Amino acid sequence: MFAVVIVLLVSNSPGWPEVKQQFFNREFFRESLHTVPKAFLLNVKIFLVAEIFILAFALVIAVMRGLPGPVFFPLRALAVVYADLFRGVPTILVIYLLGFGVPALQLSGVPTGELFWGTAALVLVYSAYVSEVYRAGIESVHPSQSAAARSLGLSHLKTLRFVIIPQAVRRVIPPLLNDFIGLQKDTALVALLGPVEAFRQAQIDVAEDFNYTPYLVAALLFILLTIPLARFTDWLVVRDRRRQLALGGVR
Amino acid sequence: MRKQFVFAFLVAILALAAAACGSDEQSADTTAAGGGTGTTAADPCAKDQLTLKTPGQLTIGTDNPAFPPWFQDAKGGPWNPTKEPTKMGYEAAVAYAVAEGLGFTDDEVTWVVVPFNNIFKPGATDFDFDINQVSFSEKRAQAVDFSDSYYDVEQAVVVDKSSNYAQATSLADLKEAKLGAQIGTTSYDAILDTIQPSQQPNVYNSNDDAIRALKNGNIDGIVVDYPTSLYVTAVQAPNTVAVGRLPSAGQEYFGLVFEKDDPLRECVNQVIAKLRSDGTLDQFAQKWIEGSAPPILK
């Protein structure tokens, strides 16, 4: 019923024919299908590489944050500062600063590629967010688990490794996926440094034709990627709950 | 269920009301425009007959910052249109000459900032015309209108002095280069159409970013219009050099940009024709765009 109302509202508005021409144009849609999907491969490459490093690095930060005892205070402080800093600075600024700033320092031995620094910037920023997700997962595991592990004689790190983290990660799979999906969109920011990825290619097409339909092509590609991922995550969670809670039937 | 129905009903009412209001406004606009034009047989280019965004004022758009040799502030650097106006620079000179030709005094000219990419948005503009090294192209002319040429332009390739490409003498020498250009520019098109490099060129939001990438060594060369390359090689990136100009497929030129079907364009074209025939445009070019041009690469 709501959808009907929205459709009625949109298609009866005075500007609709022009908007339809500008944003939903079949001819330019087909033209962009030749260029934008190819550029989308670069986005895929970037986020696949970045996600691997993010998942690993964020776990390190999260563990560092939870190290007990006064002797580990510097590491804890470092983790806190890191998370605050890289969640606080807008991603676009981090990309600019690293992508244009570091190569400008002309240090020898430091890679200067724009893709390298763009991906590195994404890894640094997203690790900050994901480390908080991990932290939430770790803290949600009941303290009896770590108490039991300690009473079995496992050290702090061994407890984490064999008892806490396996449970924690399973609990936070949906938020982890959330951040992964956000990462997929943010790969478009790497285009600031020069490489032509899907959104930039759509921008090039738009600038050439003065029609905004290519943006629609890019948007659809991102959606087509997100939906199967989301369903896969749902399946993972269901399967995991079934195993953990020894549920007999469906769901 | 009942609540949902009531809510949807209210939304539907609002929607229909909005659609009705929208069409009312549109018809009101057309009657006003109709009333304005058909009445007088006087000179349509007389100052009080011109259709302007703000009556009595000539609103000109350009980007921020506006770079030499097109615009210059008092210290010879890039100009900020939100600060004090300037008459220094080729485009500044042309803009004020056009304003004078239309009958405006200097303080009847106001400047607005229009990012380059926003110039071609279809629909109403907030400037009377835009002057920002905008090259005429058929596609752009579908969205906006161009005046006649106020500058015939060539593209130039700028490379680092110490790179191998500084010795390039032909287009083939540039085939392996990693080039860059600003998005949506004829410079970018020139890379794809004329140089046809083997690597996909990089695209940047602005020429500043492209120059930064050139300095960092991420790209081997950038393509910009020849006068811009003068400022780039002299000030922004002193250890670069314009290694050559590109042959143009057709004659590329800069035109002032108008909203589609703006009657002001005809009047401005008359002024430009006069500036060209009495040598004013040449004088401006001599003053602001001298420099020995690099060879044309073939």
What is the tens place of the pLDDT at every residue in A7-61? 888 888 888 887 888 888 888 899 899 999 999 999 999 999 999 999 999 999 9
Is the CB of A209 less than 8 angstroms away from the CB of B202? Answer: no
Positions in chain A whose pLDDT score sits under 50: none
The verdict on residue A209 lying in a domain is no
pLDDT score for B32: 40
What is the chain A residue with the closest CA to B206? A192
- The top-scoring range by mean pLDDT among B52-56, B134-138, B210-214 is B210-214
| Cα–Cα distance for residue pair A119/A91, rounded to 1 Å | 11
Q: Return the residue in A5, A28, A36 with the most chain B beta carbons within 10 A, the one to mutate for interface testing.
A: A5
Option in B15, B26, B216 nearest A112 (CB): B216
Same domain, B148 and B51: yes
Q: Which of A12, A18, A192 sits opposite B205 (nearest CB)?
A: A192
Burial B261-294 (b: 16+ CB within 10 A, else e): ebebbebbbebbeebeeeebbeebbeebbeeebb
Identify whether residues B111 and B137 lie together within a single domain: yes
Give the A-side interface with B, CB within 8 Å: 1-2, 5, 8-9, 12-15, 18, 22, 100, 103-104, 112-114, 191-196, 200, 203-204, 207-210
- HSE, CB side, 13 Å, CA atoms: give it for residue A149: 18
**Inter-chain residue contact B219 with A200, CB threshold 8 Å:** no
Instruction: Give the domain extent around B87.
Output: 47-152+252-288
More confident residue, B33 or B285: B285
Report whether pLDDT(B26) > 80: no
How would residue B153 be classed by pLDDT, with cut points 50, 70 and 90?
confident
The helix (H) or strand (E) run that includes residue B194 is none
Residue B157 token pair: 């390739």
Q: Domain for residue B26, yes or no? A: no
Would you state the pLDDT for residue B33?
Answer: 41
pLDDT at B62: 95
Bridge-based pairing state of the strands B179-182 and B240-245? unpaired
Determine whether B84 is exposed, middle or buried from the number of CB atoms within 10 Å of its CB (0-12, 13-18, 19+): exposed
Contact A117, A131 (CB under 8 A): no
Torsion-angle region of residue B119: left (phi > 0), alpha (psi -120 to 50) or beta? alpha
Residues B239 and B173 in one domain: yes
| Residue B201 located in a structural domain | yes
Phi, psi dihedrals of residue B59, rounded to the nearest 5°: -100, 115
Geometric angle at alpha carbon A238, from A237 and A243, rounded to 5°: 100
Residues of B in Cβ contact (< 8 Å) with A17: none
**Is the Cβ pair B19, A12 closer than 8 Å?**
yes
Could you give the strand order of the β-sheet that contains B221-225, starting from the edge strand earlier in sequence? B202-204, B179-182, B221-225, B155-160, B240-245
Q: What's the gap in Å between the CA of B76 and the closest CA on chain A? A: 26
Residues of B in contact with A203 (CB under 8 A): 183-184
Work out how many domains chain B is built from and give that number.
Answer: 2
What average pLDDT does range B1-20 have in this prediction? Answer: 65
The one-letter amino acid at A239: R
- Does B208 lie in the same domain as B67? no
- Alpha-carbon separation of residue A211 from A14, A31, A62, B117, B248 (angstroms): 19, 11, 46, 13, 26
**Would A22 be classed as within a structural domain?**
no
Out of A40-54, B17-31, B48-62, which region has the weakest mean confidence (pLDDT)? B17-31
Is B185 domain-assigned? yes
- Contact between chains at B139 and A208 (C-beta distance less than 8 A): yes
| Tokens describing residue B58 | 């000539």
B295 within a domain of the structure (yes/no): no
Q: Which residues of B touch A (CB under 8 A)?
A: 4, 8, 11-12, 15-16, 18-19, 22-23, 25-26, 117, 120-122, 139-140, 142-143, 180, 183-184, 188, 200, 202-205, 209-210, 212-213, 215-219
Same domain flag for B114 and B147:
yes
Query: Distance between terminal CA atoms of chain B?
Result: 75
Task: Express each pLDDT in B84-114 by its tens digit.
Answer: 999 999 999 999 999 999 999 999 999 999 9
Same domain, B215 and B95: no
Has residue B298 been placed in a domain?
no
Could you tell me which residues are beta bridge partners of residue B180?
B202, B222
Q: Is B268 helix (H, G, I), strand (E, B) or coil?
A: helix
**CA dist., res. A175 & res. A170, Å (int):** 11
Place of tokens 């500007």: A15
Residue B101 belongs to domain with CATH number: 3.40.190.10
What number of residues does chain B have?
298
Does residue A91 belong to any structural domain of this protein?
A: yes
Shortest distance between the Cα of A105 and any Cα of chain B, in A, equals 9
- The alpha-helical segments, DSSP class H, found in chain B are 2-37, 90-102, 140-143, 186-190, 207-216, 226-231, 264-277, 280-288
Q: How far apart are CA B207 and CA B209, in angstroms?
A: 5
B82 and B147 belong to one structural domain: yes
Residue B15 has pLDDT above 80, yes or no: no
Nearest CA-CA distance, residue B134 and chain A, Å: 13
For the record, the structure tokens of B121 come out as 């948005």
Terminus-to-terminus CA distance in chain A, angstroms? 30
d(CA A103, CA A99): 7
Look at residue B39 and tell me if it is in a domain.
no
- Within a domain: residue A77? yes
Shortest Cα distance from A56 to chain B (angstroms)?
29
Place B205 in a pLDDT band, splitting at 50, 70 and 90: very high
Tell me what pLDDT residue A95 has.
96
Q: Collect all residues of chain A within an 8 Å Cβ-Cβ radius of residue B12.
A: 5, 8
B201 within 8 A of B225, measured Cβ to Cβ:
no
Q: Calculate Rg over the CA atoms of chain A.
A: 23
Does the bond joining B65 to the residue before it have cis omega, within 30 degrees of 0? yes
Is the CB of B204 less than 8 angstroms away from the CB of A192?
A: yes
pTM: 0.76
Q: Indicate if the pLDDT at residue B29 is higher than 50.
A: no
Total structural domains in chain A?
A: 1
Residue A62 lies in domain: 41-197
Q: Structure tokens of B12?
A: 């539907």
- Mean pLDDT in chain B? 86
Closest by CA position to B262, among listed B5, B96, B44: B44
Statement: residue B51 has pLDDT above 50: yes
In a domain, B200, yes or no: yes
Q: What is the DSSP string of chain A?
A: -HHHHHHHHHHTSTTHHHHHHHHS-HHHHHHHHHHHHHHHHHHHHHHHHHHHHHHHHHHHHHHHHT--SGGGHHHHHHHHHHHHHHHHS-HHHHHHIIIIIHHHH--TTS---HHHHHHHHHHHHHHHHHHHHHHHHHHHS-HHHHHHHHHTT--HHHHIIIIIHHHHHHHTHHHHHHHHHHHHHHGGGGGGGS---HHHHHHHHHHHHT-SHHHHHHHHHHHHHHHHHHHHHHHHHHHHHHHHTT--S--
The pLDDT of B61-87, averaged and rounded, is 92
Q: Is residue B23 part of a domain?
A: no
Decide if pLDDT at B1 tops 70: no
ipTM: 0.78
Contacts of B8 in chain A (CB under 8 A): 1-2, 5
pLDDT at res. B22: 46
CA distance B97 to chain A (A): 30
Sign of the Cα torsion A192, A198, A199, A202 reads positive
Alpha carbon of B42: minimum distance to chain A alpha carbons (Å):
35
pLDDT in tens, B109-147: 999 999 988 888 767 888 999 999 999 988 888 888 999
